Structure 1
Amino acid sequence: MKRYISSTLVIMLAGLLAFSGSTQHATAQTPNRGTAVLPGQSQIHDRQILVELQSNGDAKSASAAMASKGVSMVDTLSLSYTDYMVVRVPDGDDYEAVFRRLENDPNIRSVTPNVVKHISEYIPNDPLFLGTASDVESGLASGAGSPALSNQWGLLISGAQDAWEVTTGKNNIVVAVLDTGAKLDHEDLKNRLWNNPGEAKDGTDTDGNGFVDDVHGYDFQGYSLPVGGGAGSGGDGDPTDEEAKSADTVFDSHGTSTASIVAGQTNNGVGMSGVAGGNTPSSGVRLMICRVGTASTISLAAEIGAIDYAVNNGAHVITMSFGGESGGDAEENAINRAWNAGVYVCAAAGNYPQGAAAGVDLPAGFDNCVAVGATTIFSPDSVNVGPGAQVVSEYRPSYSKTGPEVEICAPGTRVISAAWGGSNATVDGYMDSFQHQFTGTSAATPVVAGLAALLYSVLPDPESVTANQTVRDRINSTAKDLGQAGRDEQFGFGRIEMGEALAAFATGKDGDANGDGFVDEADLALIIANYGKRSTDAGYTAQMDLNSDGVIDELDVLEIGKYYEAAP
């Protein structure tokens, strides 16, 4: 039965101020996504509708068919699994009447308003609480930490350092960050970007995937692909946050923030530490930057196009710090396809009073998307944590949405993250203001995505279509139970415990390539015997790859030298 599942797709990513389970899916309730009421025109992009035909035809006949229905063709969106036509209802015509006419056409499989998603950040007005190297309470196992680690309370309380004893992230694991784009040359991001192995920035579609110059990801704002194939148009291969770039006074960049929380370069002596940012220049997971809109508008077409791209280009994790009313079957089908391909998909549960009119936002509320809520340790309960704030026991901040769909929580208030850093970047005398405070379920979601990426880094087969369920179950089963015993509507299964989640994958001591409990000549012999093997080669094991860079080489020999201790 053809139906429009939801109306207003007003997705609000939340960036608020800074410091801040495992799923029994059988007990999770499916959100109410069905409504016969269409959203208002302010929530629909340029009077547009996404139309999915029962069968594909050539573009010319499809355009003629749409003209006979009183609409004009704007774009076509050819995904891996279906084709959509983006059509426009003329000004002055009754939008709902046209929509219903299309909805009742037996030749049309589905119709969905091209709803608009909005991201709305709460910009903090208090001084930044960034630490310096002397403020670091504890660094990585190697003894070297990032200067802002002492202010990254969310990493400390969630056991990130224990997780890092197991892995800091492998560079063959890819996280797709669907957001406003990012500052690609940021000091904490530039070495963590995904590099499309078959693409060159030469003005052509080198790898033949339909996207020109998509070296680090793609800008999907306004992008379309013709039904039946051919060159795409409307997007570009530069997923930079264009809004932040165009205004020198801009300090904030929502997408830069979320990307850095996932995998900002760790242990590089500058800035902040990402959850899966590695501990050497070549380690850490990789960030596929997918720009899906601006701080005010994300279209459904851009979102589902980016999801399809991420799946087709090898992403293991998709993180979306936005939400609102449902995008209907078009949105849920995209989520389902990603999940069925083995991708761990997570999204912000939403912030009151933004997003959906009631309950958890979509896409977070879909069954195959993990809904992430936030926790905090600051009192009073406010998005702006001032100098007089008190540190208290962890609780759910009032902005974090609740409901049966909430699956897991992570620190979300006053989270240190990377920023764009425009001309007004000096904050309270701190000159290197590439970092700032970030609050909301927008901030909590990439923390969960980072943990998922760490887990993919240690799975024996991260490419398995069941890897995402393994990751989901591990995160939920090891969460710290908060609130009512068991799963509840405020915290889901609880707040993530990174160390506990990775504990089962611990391989022993640093430098111990053979797992015998000692770092000695036997480990060196094993490295020499397997020298040059890469993660894709037979005989490669993660335990031998001591620096987690995907290749067994002289750098692993150096790791043995660092921890050498002859057996008694």
Structure 2
Amino acid sequence: MENMLRSLLFIVLLALGWTATAAASGPPTVPGRFALKLKPGRKPAALEAALRTLTATDVQQKFPHTLPPNIEKPGSVDLRGIYQFQVPTTVSLARIRTVLLATGAVDYVEPLYIRYPEHQPNDPLADSTLTSLSKSQYYLKQIKAYRAWDITRGDSSIVIGITDGGVRLTHEDLRRQIKYNYADPINGLDDDGDGYVDNFCGWDLANNDNDPGYDIKITHGSLVAGVAAAQADNGVGIAGAGNKCRFLPLNIYTNTPNGNFAGIEAVVYAADHNCKVINMSWGSPGGFSQLEQDAMTYAAVNRDAVLVAAAGNTNADLMFYPASYEHVLSVSGVSSTDQKSPNATFSHRVDLVAPGLSILTTQGYHAKTSGGPAESDYIAVGGTSFAAPLVAAAAALVRWKSPLLSASQVAAQLRQTADKVDTLPANAAWKNLMGAGRLNMFRALTEPSHEARVVTSTFVPARAVYLAGDTVRLSVAVQNLLQPIAGLTVTLTSLSPYISIKQGTFTVGNLASLAVLNNARAPFRLAVASNGIPLNTTATLRYQLTGDDGYASEQLVELVLNPDYVVLDANDLHVTVTSRGKLAFDDLSGTIGAGVSYRGSSNILSEGGLLLAAGPTRVSDRLRTRLGAARESFFNSTQVVLRQSGPRADQEARALFQDTIPGAGSLARSVGVSVRQRAYAWAAPGRRDFVVLEYTLKNLTADTLKPLYAGLFMDWEIPTPDGSARNAAAWDDARAMGYCYAMGQQNTPSLPAIYAGVQVLRGGSPTAYSIDNNATLGSAMCLADGFSTAEKFRALSSGTAQSNAGPPNGTDVSQVIGARVSTLAPGDSTIVAFAMLSAPTLLQLQDAAESATIAYATTLLPTRASARPVDFVAYPNPTDGPLQVALPQNFGPATVQVLDVTGRLVKTLTATGNKFETSLAGLQPGMYLVRVIGASRVMTRSVMLR
């Protein structure tokens, strides 16, 4: 059954242009479809120019009928500022985020994820020969449903929203359980004024029509609906656990070319249409989405709906969404003996478990007799998809019996009355990873319970990741959701060897029902280990809540340690440097890293990184390639580390990585070098607008690299006042600097102007290639279909002939700024160095370039022996004025510049031959830089004038 379901779903998704990705890379997304959320108080008009830049179409408010936040409901959210739009599939998420976030009007930008039904394969013969319906529904006894129905059977006022595939609306056990909307009969009118025409029996959110019924032979919705709400006492079939409670069918899977997966839309619809409980038997590992979290918060907090979701069928300890979102009850599965189901997800985010194997339910697919209607068929199925609706049904009955309980209180009641099962010998491997226990409906309806819960965790400093040696304060807010608790204490412990707790006790005392207390005045204190932390480690902390009357519960919270990137932030230009040559972000989606910013701006570099080439096919990088993927040529030998107050700079980052040694002949697809990367930043005045990046390249092959090209690819995104991101790229030959700026920008307090660029400081003949990212297919350089190795080589090896792009109207631009190393013998090394620069004006950018040249020449070069023989001499040094200059043989005509320590040009002359004399007499004593600019090389030497 499961194989058929997934095959059909995959065929449909594939036909619509959707492609699945591996769980490790997150869930698949709808191609070209994105959502954004406006910051409070900002209007959509603020985005019009930026959306035009992205050629966005079909821009529409995603949730126009939702309620505003309620000040009486702390934590409620506003969904009215969320908009969705379509862009060409060639536009990257990184660019979309950069352009829209640069407007200052956008809170977040995200793709729209596709989540799958959580229906696990099962051998239906285990139950197919049974004739007793009561025995077939063993799970009703296991969860004490029969005893619960003696307390209450609910009624039609409690509605469970079934957000799932289409439902067989005419099935004998379902047709009388649907919550019909008699305020909007089918007559072509929106009689109830809710924005949906003829939504008499639910809605098809995926295809935007009023038929949520069975389609494309995906029976999952019928299966889930039957578990929760099949009609009881009608003399046929089965009894849903919710007994007399009704359900609202909401289809989320598309069956039209223009449809889209609509899970979160269905959740919001259900919340807005009085569903007291909402079931989500779908999801996927990973892929956290703030948009999805906002939708869950809206439904649970703004609308007070109990949210229940399948924890997934992964048999792994992982985050599974939407089950792992805040405000969602995550339900995993067990067998008839309460042993964890073989394929059920287990994690600290699981709230409770319920039976999930051989669950007999309505099918709505096969006819009972040949040629008869598919209205009376049943099947035994398995998976957390069918554990979740059992919990949803229990929540519905608790809501009917205790109507004054809020959604969070109902969830607490279900957790605290569950039967503990992770103490069973068969579940020893999953202790503390199966939630509070197995659902017990009878206890949920009859037992007074206690539950205090940590509702907020605030880390200071607030960071996405923490570094070795960091100290952190953690304040928590604790709320009592149920009966009063006396003598409540919260104790923080670390389950990670890389976090130590310095102060871990919060004595709450007596806490009344719904009361909230925090430890902001005396927060927990913790310390990150100073060394030995593996890369990108997730550390887990445990809250243990105990009371005088024996109450005990626990929660877990996580934080990420030792990321595979560092941020140089000593000056006004903040730059993320990774372990494998990338800049700004280590991934194309712009989530691993802190980007590049200048003087508090939003991110101005959507993608950047080192690019090496020894031929059209021998290219090494980790930059974009075709079909939205990235090359992975480099692998790190050591992790990037950040040293504060180093001997040469206020901050110094170091990393070591390499590519693979290429195969012979036509098999050569890499360059074959190791790279020792250093990055430097200074806080001193005059050095606050640049960061120096230095790469020592060693030839690992048996062949001479002749020539070797090394450069930086920089996809700049400089914001403009109108949000259009109309940029231009240019080349400053005198300073060997490529730079980017926004057309029409002005230096205003609301949006300071920004110029950004890269300067070649050392390494060989400068190269510069400016790219129009919007160039059409067939152009000499076109990124619309990706960035091929041949294009990367062309960008590095074309000199400076194509060094400008953008004017007169501006466009989306990138630059490759590099250096040509004429030869690199086997085993030899060479140094290539660049400065990343930013400033409010072009003149200030030029000054920054001069300052960077001096900083590199005077601070970094003298500390290490040169990688090549000295071939440019200026002497005597120090001098009282006269200066002899000797250039390499056959250097050719050259321009000689003398610059002071601020980068200001104080003297220019023309070289006559490879030896000549000049004088610094008349200048103020101090340090000067002598720069020689030839046809293919730029050389510098520092000179002290006494």
TM category, shorter: 0.5 to 0.7
Task: Please state how far the C-alpha of 1:67 moved relative to its aligned partner.
Answer: 1.2
1:163 and 2:148 matched: yes
Evaluate the alpha carbon distance shift between residue 320 and residue 41 of structure 1 in structure 2; reply closer, same or farther with a 3 A threshold: closer
Evaluate the alpha carbon distance shift between residue 376 and residue 174 of structure 1 in structure 2; reply closer, same or farther with a 3 A threshold: same
d(CA) in 1 for partners of 2:394 and 2:256?
Answer: 28
Instruction: Give the counterpart of 1:344 among 280, 296, 306.
Output: 306
Instruction: Give the counterpart of 1:174 among 159, 173, 184.
Output: 159
Task: Please state how far the C-alpha of 1:68 moved relative to its aligned partner.
Answer: 2.4
d(CA) in 2 for partners of 1:171 and 1:328?
Answer: 34
SS of residue in 2 equivalent to 1:258: helix
Counterpart for residue 331 of structure 1: 292
SS of residue in 2 equivalent to 1:211: coil
- Look up the equivalent residue of 1:117 and give its one-letter code: R
- Look up the equivalent residue of 1:162 and give its one-letter code: R
Task: Please state how far the C-alpha of 1:473 moved relative to its aligned partner.
Answer: 2.2
Instruction: Give the counterpart of 1:116 among 101, 105, 114.
Output: 114
- Asked whether the 8 Å contact 2:317–2:345 carries over to 1, the reply is no
Which moved further from structure 2: 335-344 or 440-449?
335-344
Task: Please state how far the C-alpha of 1:60 moved relative to its aligned partner.
Answer: 7.9
Task: Please state how far the C-alpha of 1:61 moved relative to its aligned partner.
Answer: 7.7
d(CA) in 1 for partners of 2:209 and 2:389?
Answer: 25
Counterpart for residue 316 of structure 1: 276
d(CA) in 2 for partners of 1:260 and 1:375?
Answer: 19
d(CA) in 2 for partners of 1:362 and 1:99?
Answer: 22
Task: Please state how far the C-alpha of 1:501 moved relative to its aligned partner.
Answer: 1.8
Task: Please state how far the C-alpha of 1:504 moved relative to its aligned partner.
Answer: 4.6
Evaluate the alpha carbon distance shift between residue 150 and residue 503 of structure 1 in structure 2; reply closer, same or farther with a 3 A threshold: same
1:418 and 2:357 matched: no
- Look up the equivalent residue of 1:360 and give its one-letter code: M
d(CA) in 1 for partners of 2:25 and 2:56?
Answer: 18
Evaluate the alpha carbon distance shift between residue 456 and residue 130 of structure 1 in structure 2; reply closer, same or farther with a 3 A threshold: farther
Pairing 1:132-281 to 2, within 5 Å after superposition = 136=132, 148-222=133-207, 235-244=208-217, 253-277=219-243
1:473 and 2:412 matched: yes
Cα offsets for 1:272-322 (capped at 9, x unmatched): 110012xxxxxx111111111159999997222222221221110011001
Evaluate the alpha carbon distance shift between residue 65 and residue 104 of structure 1 in structure 2; reply closer, same or farther with a 3 A threshold: closer
Pairing 1:10-21 to 2, within 5 Å after superposition = none
Under a length normalisation based on structure 1, what TM-score does the superposition of the two structures give?
A: 0.65
d(CA) in 1 for partners of 2:431 and 2:369?
Answer: 40
- Asked whether the 8 Å contact 2:332–2:387 carries over to 1, the reply is yes
Gaps of 5+ in 2: 7-22, 67-77, 449-946
Which moved further from structure 2: 288-297 or 469-478?
288-297
Counterpart for residue 383 of structure 1: none
Counterpart for residue 43 of structure 1: 28
Which moved further from structure 2: 81-90 or 368-377?
81-90
Counterpart for residue 332 of structure 2: 373
Evaluate the alpha carbon distance shift between residue 316 and residue 396 of structure 1 in structure 2; reply closer, same or farther with a 3 A threshold: same
Evaluate the alpha carbon distance shift between residue 406 and residue 339 of structure 1 in structure 2; reply closer, same or farther with a 3 A threshold: same
- Asked whether the 8 Å contact 2:308–2:392 carries over to 1, the reply is yes
Evaluate the alpha carbon distance shift between residue 469 and residue 297 of structure 1 in structure 2; reply closer, same or farther with a 3 A threshold: farther
Pairing 1:383-402 to 2, within 5 Å after superposition = 393-402=337-346
SS of residue in 2 equivalent to 1:394: coil
Which moved further from structure 2: 486-495 or 446-455?
486-495
- Asked whether the 8 Å contact 1:114–1:299 carries over to 2, the reply is no
- Asked whether the 8 Å contact 2:367–2:377 carries over to 1, the reply is no
SS of residue in 2 equivalent to 1:243: coil
- Asked whether the 8 Å contact 1:220–1:306 carries over to 2, the reply is yes
Count residues in correspondence: 410
SS of residue in 1 equivalent to 2:249: strand
d(CA) in 2 for partners of 1:298 and 1:39?
Answer: 28
d(CA) in 1 for partners of 2:278 and 2:35?
Answer: 23
SS of residue in 2 equivalent to 1:373: strand
d(CA) in 1 for partners of 2:136 and 2:43?
Answer: 57
- Asked whether the 8 Å contact 1:14–1:120 carries over to 2, the reply is no
Cα offsets for 1:352-381 (capped at 9, x unmatched): 16xxx961311111121000010003xxxx
d(CA) in 2 for partners of 1:152 and 1:488?
Answer: 28
Task: Please state how far the C-alpha of 1:126 moved relative to its aligned partner.
Answer: 4.0
1:441 and 2:378 matched: no
Counterpart for residue 98 of structure 1: 96
SS of residue in 1 equivalent to 2:62: strand
- Asked whether the 8 Å contact 1:72–1:87 carries over to 2, the reply is yes
Task: Please state how far the C-alpha of 1:348 moved relative to its aligned partner.
Answer: 0.6
Cα offsets for 1:477-526 (capped at 9, x unmatched): 22111123899443211101112222359xxxxxxxxxxxxxxxxxxxxx
d(CA) in 2 for partners of 1:180 and 1:131?
Answer: 28
d(CA) in 2 for partners of 1:15 and 1:167?
Answer: 35
Task: Please state how far the C-alpha of 1:56 moved relative to its aligned partner.
Answer: 7.5
d(CA) in 1 for partners of 2:228 and 2:279?
Answer: 9
SS of residue in 2 equivalent to 1:319: strand
- Look up the equivalent residue of 1:106 and give its one-letter code: G
Task: Please state how far the C-alpha of 1:59 moved relative to its aligned partner.
Answer: 7.2
Evaluate the alpha carbon distance shift between residue 398 and residue 207 of structure 1 in structure 2; reply closer, same or farther with a 3 A threshold: same
Specify which structure has the higher proportion of strand.
2
Counterpart for residue 409 of structure 1: 353
- Look up the equivalent residue of 1:495 and give its one-letter code: R
Cα offsets for 1:176-210 (capped at 9, x unmatched): 11101211111111111112242111111110001
Counterpart for residue 740 of structure 2: none
Evaluate the alpha carbon distance shift between residue 413 and residue 92 of structure 1 in structure 2; reply closer, same or farther with a 3 A threshold: same
Identity value in percent: 24
d(CA) in 2 for partners of 1:444 and 1:293?
Answer: 21
Counterpart for residue 502 of structure 1: 445
- Asked whether the 8 Å contact 2:254–2:260 carries over to 1, the reply is no
d(CA) in 2 for partners of 1:364 and 1:467?
Answer: 19
d(CA) in 2 for partners of 1:456 and 1:14?
Answer: 36
Evaluate the alpha carbon distance shift between residue 156 and residue 172 of structure 1 in structure 2; reply closer, same or farther with a 3 A threshold: same
Evaluate the alpha carbon distance shift between residue 374 and residue 264 of structure 1 in structure 2; reply closer, same or farther with a 3 A threshold: same
Specify which structure has the higher proportion of helix.
1
d(CA) in 2 for partners of 1:85 and 1:14?
Answer: 35
Evaluate the alpha carbon distance shift between residue 317 and residue 96 of structure 1 in structure 2; reply closer, same or farther with a 3 A threshold: same
- Look up the equivalent residue of 1:398 and give its one-letter code: P
d(CA) in 2 for partners of 1:256 and 1:56?
Answer: 43
Evaluate the alpha carbon distance shift between residue 40 and residue 124 of structure 1 in structure 2; reply closer, same or farther with a 3 A threshold: closer
Evaluate the alpha carbon distance shift between residue 120 and residue 442 of structure 1 in structure 2; reply closer, same or farther with a 3 A threshold: closer
d(CA) in 2 for partners of 1:77 and 1:96?
Answer: 22
d(CA) in 2 for partners of 1:55 and 1:266?
Answer: 48
SS of residue in 1 equivalent to 2:357: coil
Cα offsets for 1:386-415 (capped at 9, x unmatched): xxxxxxx32001211011101110000010
d(CA) in 1 for partners of 2:410 and 2:27?
Answer: 39
